[in-house]
């Protein structure tokens, strides 16, 4: 079995392939001890090879596995995963826990990519943090925001400033749902710009945990003028795309660089 | 880094000994990790290691000895300051580095927070009393190449003797006249300070010395076109960095020796990385000592750097001063013309830079270009967009990086650079 392990800032996903077929997928939150979480995910498995990806990809060196180990970046991994499920994909958008990435693809290969700068502006973290202001779990934040109308303009995409802005809008009596919608709009605006910079081509595959957020999805479709299901495609498990891509990298027999 | 036997000298230069010891310690460790850990290094790299280990020691001792004999030291921050003239007055020309974060917080008292790391660094080094070159300089020459620097020299003049050259912003005839007048004015200022009259004979000598240095650097650049890459980008960058402050005649001889060794290595098919390693050209803002962050990240991501389109790179060595002039007037013209060819992002328009990058990438057989700009650097971040467009049209992939001297974004840089390298493989 070939394993792909995506060590992200918020969650760690594991996908196992045999003969190119997904035979296993697991997920755990990253927590403060990602190494322990990795060991937990790998418990009882004896893979022939493992490919690490994600922001913590180099941690695999410390797992002391007795199989062939290598790493690829999450940019390549998401592209491989997306292109595998949707070979016609022209663009991949991945909004993860702490990074947002946009990639343009040609024949499944990354041609150009963009990634957010240092801070967590416009990433899953932004939504998680601002959801906290409303005291609702991040999973419910999207449906909640969809109930909003006439969203106020949130001018800051800085996670911390946006919180301040949201709080003062509340104090001004704006409806919380509308504010939540405004926050979603702020990150979608930024994401759409990033997509334009890499040269957005449909169909676009949306991966990463934030692809599960229905509000982001709807706003994004509006912003880029695309139809969900035709121009914008969401895999069944958008957050497993990195791990899948990592495993596929090995399966496809690409010369893996040993980490 | 320099041993502490030089303490008395540093104390005399009114430096902050404790802070300086701290800086040397960090630098030493950094140097070890980034340079000494490399495999397949050239024997000639011993010179680089030695010069760098004595950057604040023996070289400063040399400057002090020269000063004791009545010679003057001129410090500069930009490749526009004509070294030929400094040399003709028997003065010593050193490029001041400004490549570390130390003292940057102090600098925010004199320049705005949103200023590029390079400016903050030179102001910070002076304020924190960390740089023996600044303290040894009898005159520091600034230039009006960007708004940040232009205003920063006003503030800097209050803490160090600063002379400013007006660099034009276009390449028109009027601009060329202005620049020539500035070259003449600089010559007068240098004569006045050194008490030395610059004759045609002396200027010729200055031109030959500076050209000699450039020829050695050009030779190095050309050799890097070989595959496998015969020298690491880190070592080559170090050569370029050292060219700014070591004695030019010694430097030229040592680099030519290094090139001899490179030629042998190339003839034997040797290199620092396997022949199929992706080759990258670095392009953009200058990388002053000890700003080695990006080159290190790139070369630990499975790529090798084969050239630097930068002021600490080909922008400093590409063009020679015409050596045929015999009169002072003709030589000054030749100097003015040579410097007007510099394709600094401060010029508008600056299209020759686009051609130069494309040409260099092709000549060095680069698979891609990494464009580097310092955060808050208007000229180069603007040009990053233009360079991207031009290279795209030429079918050369490019990655744009914007960063500063801090280490907080190293992981993100690694992801970006690795992903870029993956797209090339
Ligand atoms: S980039 Fe321009 S201002 Fe900076 S050193 Fe080079 S020539 Fe001078
Ligand atoms: S040109 Fe850019 S990097 Fe150089 S001093 Fe000006 S702002 Fe800083």
Please tell me the predicted confidence (pLDDT) of residue A258.
Answer: 39
Q: How confident is the model at residue A121 (pLDDT cuts 50, 70, 90)?
A: confident
* CB atoms inside a 10 Å sphere around CB A134: 18
Instruction: Provide the CA B147 distance to its chain's centre, in angstroms.
Output: 20
Please tell me the predicted confidence (pLDDT) of residue A118.
Answer: 63
Q: A157 or A138: whose pLDDT is higher?
A: A138
Cα–Cα distance list, A158 to A118, A155, A164, B88 (Å): 11, 9, 10, 54
pLDDT in tens, A4-33: 999 998 899 999 999 999 999 999 999 999
Side-chain-side CA neighbours of B327 within 13 Å: the count stands at 3
**Does the model's ipTM exceed the 0.90 cut?**
no
pLDDT, average across residues B85-105: 94
Alpha carbons B329 and B73: distance in angstroms, whole number: 25
Q: A110–B423: do the CB atoms touch at under 8 Å?
A: yes
Q: Does the pLDDT value for residue B307 go beyond 90?
A: yes
User: How much distance in Å is there from the Cα of B162 to the middle of ligand 2?
Assistant: 18
Please tell me the predicted confidence (pLDDT) of residue B268.
Answer: 97
Q: Does the pLDDT value for residue B388 go beyond 80?
A: yes
What is the best residue among B76, B98, B112, B118 to mutate for testing ligand 2's pocket, by most ligand atoms within 8 Å of CB? B118
pLDDT, average across residues B379-398: 97
- Which of B376, B384, B373, B385 shows the shortest CA–CA distance to B285? B373
Interface contacts (A, B; CB < 8 Å): 36
Kindly give the pairing relationship between strand B73-76 and strand B92-95. Answer: parallel
User: How much distance in Å is there from the Cα of B325 to the middle of ligand 1?
Assistant: 27
Please tell me the predicted confidence (pLDDT) of residue A256.
Answer: 42
User: How much distance in Å is there from the Cα of B377 to the middle of ligand 2?
Assistant: 5
**Rounded to 5 degrees, what are φ and ψ at A228?**
-70, 135
The residue of chain B nearest to residue A197, with distances taken between CA atoms, is B385
pLDDT in tens, B227-269: 999 999 999 999 999 999 999 999 999 999 999 999 999 999 9
Q: Does the pLDDT value for residue B171 go beyond 90?
A: yes
> How confident is the prediction for chain B on average, in pLDDT?
96
Please tell me the predicted confidence (pLDDT) of residue A177.
Answer: 94
Q: Which of A216-220, B50-54, B226-230, B234-238 bottoms out in mean pLDDT, i.e. has the lowest?
A: B50-54
Least CB–CB distance from B419: residue in A55, A75, A118 = A75
Q: How confident is the model at residue A254 (pLDDT cuts 50, 70, 90)?
A: low
Please tell me the predicted confidence (pLDDT) of residue B3.
Answer: 57
Q: Does the pLDDT value for residue B166 go beyond 80?
A: yes
Q: Is B311 in the pocket of ligand 2 (CB under 6 A)?
A: no
Cα–Cα distance list, B285 to B95, B308, B347 (Å): 15, 10, 14
Please tell me the predicted confidence (pLDDT) of residue A124.
Answer: 86
Q: Does the pLDDT value for residue A163 go beyond 60?
A: yes
Q: Does the pLDDT value for residue A246 go beyond 60?
A: yes
Angle at A214 between CA A208 and CA A215, to 5 degrees: 110
Q: Does the pLDDT value for residue A55 go beyond 60?
A: yes
Helix, strand, coil content of chain A in percent (nearest 5): 45, 25, 35
Atom of ligand 2 nearest to the CA of B374: 3
Please tell me the predicted confidence (pLDDT) of residue A156.
Answer: 77
Q: Does the pLDDT value for residue A93 go beyond 70?
A: yes
Total number of residues shown for chain B: 425
Please tell me the predicted confidence (pLDDT) of residue A257.
Answer: 41
Most B CBs within 10 A among A75, A97, A105, hence the mutation to make, goes to: A75
pLDDT in tens, A173-201: 899 999 999 999 998 998 999 999 999 99
Kindly give the pairing relationship between strand B368-374 and strand A21-29. Answer: unpaired
Q: How confident is the model at residue A97 (pLDDT cuts 50, 70, 90)?
A: confident
- Which of A118, A122, A119, A88 shows the shortest CA–CA distance to A105? A88
Q: Does the pLDDT value for residue B406 go beyond 90?
A: yes
Q: Is B273 in the pocket of ligand 2 (CB under 6 A)?
A: no
Q: Are B375 and B214 a contacting pair, CB within 8 Å?
A: no
pLDDT in tens, B173-225: 999 999 999 999 999 999 999 999 999 999 999 999 999 999 999 999 999 99
Q: Are A209 and A238 a contacting pair, CB within 8 Å?
A: yes
Q: A115–B402: do the CB atoms touch at under 8 Å?
A: no
DSSP structural state of residue A211? G
Q: Does the pLDDT value for residue A259 go beyond 60?
A: no
Instruction: Provide the CA A77 distance to its chain's centre, in angstroms.
Output: 11
What is the best residue among B79, B294, B379, B381 to mutate for testing ligand 2's pocket, by most ligand atoms within 8 Å of CB? B379
- Which of B343, B117, B291, B359 shows the shortest CA–CA distance to B369? B359
Q: A73–B402: do the CB atoms touch at under 8 Å?
A: no
Q: Does the pLDDT value for residue A255 go beyond 80?
A: no
Percent of chain B with pLDDT over 70: 99
Q: Does the pLDDT value for residue A203 go beyond 60?
A: yes
Q: Does the pLDDT value for residue B5 go beyond 90?
A: no
- Which chain A residues are closer than 8 Å to B422 by Cβ? 72-73, 75-76, 110
Alpha carbons B28 and B377: distance in angstroms, whole number: 28
């Amino acid at each position: 079995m070939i394993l792909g392990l995506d060590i992200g800032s918020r969650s760690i996903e594991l996908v196992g392939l045999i003969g190119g077929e997904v035979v296993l997928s697991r997920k755990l939150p990253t927590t403060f001890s990602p190494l322990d979480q990795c060991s937990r995910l790998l418990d009882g498995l004896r893979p022939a090879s493992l490919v690490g990806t994600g922001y913590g990809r180099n941690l695999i060196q410390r797992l002391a596995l007795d199989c062939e180990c290598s790493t690829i970046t999450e940019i390549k991994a998401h592209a491989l995963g997306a292109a595998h499920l949707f070979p016609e994909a022209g663009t991949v958008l991945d909004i993860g826990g702490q990074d947002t990435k946009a990639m343009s693809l040609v024949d499944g290969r990354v041609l150009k990519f963009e990634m957010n700068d240092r801070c967590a502006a416009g990433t899953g973290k932004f939504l998680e943090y601002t959801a906290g202001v409303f005291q609702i779990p991040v999973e419910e934040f999207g449906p909640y925001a969809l109930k909003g109308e006439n969203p106020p303009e949130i001018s800051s995409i800085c996670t911390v400033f946006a919180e301040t802005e949201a709080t003062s809008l509340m104090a001004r009596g704006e409806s919380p749902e509308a504010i939540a919608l405004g926050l979603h709009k702020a990150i979608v605006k930024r994401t759409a710009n990033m997509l334009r910079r890499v040269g957005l081509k449909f169909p676009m595959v949306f991966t990463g945990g934030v692809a599960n957020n229905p509000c982001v999805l709807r706003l994004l479709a509006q912003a880029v003028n695309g139809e969900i299901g035709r121009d914008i495609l969401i895999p069944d498990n958008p957050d497993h795309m990195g791990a899948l891509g990592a495993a596929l990298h090995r399966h496809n027999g690409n010369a893996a660089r040993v980490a | 880094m320099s041993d502490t036997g030089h303490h008395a000298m540093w104390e005399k230069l009114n430096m902050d000994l404790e802070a300086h010891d701290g800086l040397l310690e960090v630098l030493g460790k950094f140097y070890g990790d980034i340079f000494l850990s490399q495999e397949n290094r050239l024997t000639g790299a011993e010179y680089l290691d030695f010069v760098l280990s004595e950057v604040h020691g023996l070289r400063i001792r040399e400057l002090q000895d020269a000063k004791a004999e009545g010679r003057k030291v001129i410090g500069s921050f930009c490749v526009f300051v004509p070294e030929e003239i400094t040399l003709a007055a028997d003065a010593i020309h050193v490029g001041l580095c400004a490549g570390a974060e130390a003292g940057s917080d102090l600098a925010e008292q004199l320049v705005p927070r949103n200023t590029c790391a390079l400016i903050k660094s030179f102001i910070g080094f002076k304020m924190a009393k960390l740089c023996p070159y600044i303290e040894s300089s009898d005159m520091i020459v600034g230039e009006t190449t960007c708004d940040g620097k232009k205003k920063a020299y006003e503030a800097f003049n209050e803490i160090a003797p600063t002379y400013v050259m007006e660099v034009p912003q276009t390449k028109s005839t009027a601009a060329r006249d202005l620049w020539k007048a500035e070259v003449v004015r600089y010559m007068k200022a240098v004569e006045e300070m050194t008490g030395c009259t610059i004759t045609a004979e002396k200027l010729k000598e200055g031109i030959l010395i500076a050209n000699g240095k450039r020829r050695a650097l050009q030779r190095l650049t050309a050799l890097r076109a070989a595959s496998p890459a015969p020298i690491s980008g880190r070592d080559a960058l170090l050569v370029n960095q050292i060219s700014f402050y070591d004695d030019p005649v010694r430097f030229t001889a040592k680099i030519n020796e290094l090139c001899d060794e490179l030629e042998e290595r190339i003839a034997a098919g040797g290199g620092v990385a396997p022949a199929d390693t992706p080759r990258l050209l670095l392009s953009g803002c200058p990388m002053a000592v000890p700003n080695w962050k990006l080159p290190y990240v790139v070369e630990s991501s499975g790529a090798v750097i084969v050239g630097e389109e930068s002021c600490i790179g080909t922008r400093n060595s590409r063009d020679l001063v015409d050596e045929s002039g015999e009169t002072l007037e003709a030589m000054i013209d030749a100097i003015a013309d040579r410097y007007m060819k510099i394709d600094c992002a401060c010029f508008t328009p600056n299209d020759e830079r686009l051609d130069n990058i494309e040409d260099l990438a092709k000549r060095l057989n680069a698979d891609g270009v990494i464009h580097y700009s310092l955060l808050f650097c208007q000229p180069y971040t603007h040009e990053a967009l233009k360079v991207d467009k031009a290279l795209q049209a030429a079918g050369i992939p490019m990655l744009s990086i914007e960063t500063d001297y801090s280490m907080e974004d190293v992981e993100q840089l690694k992801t970006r650079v690795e992903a870029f390298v993956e797209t090339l493989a």
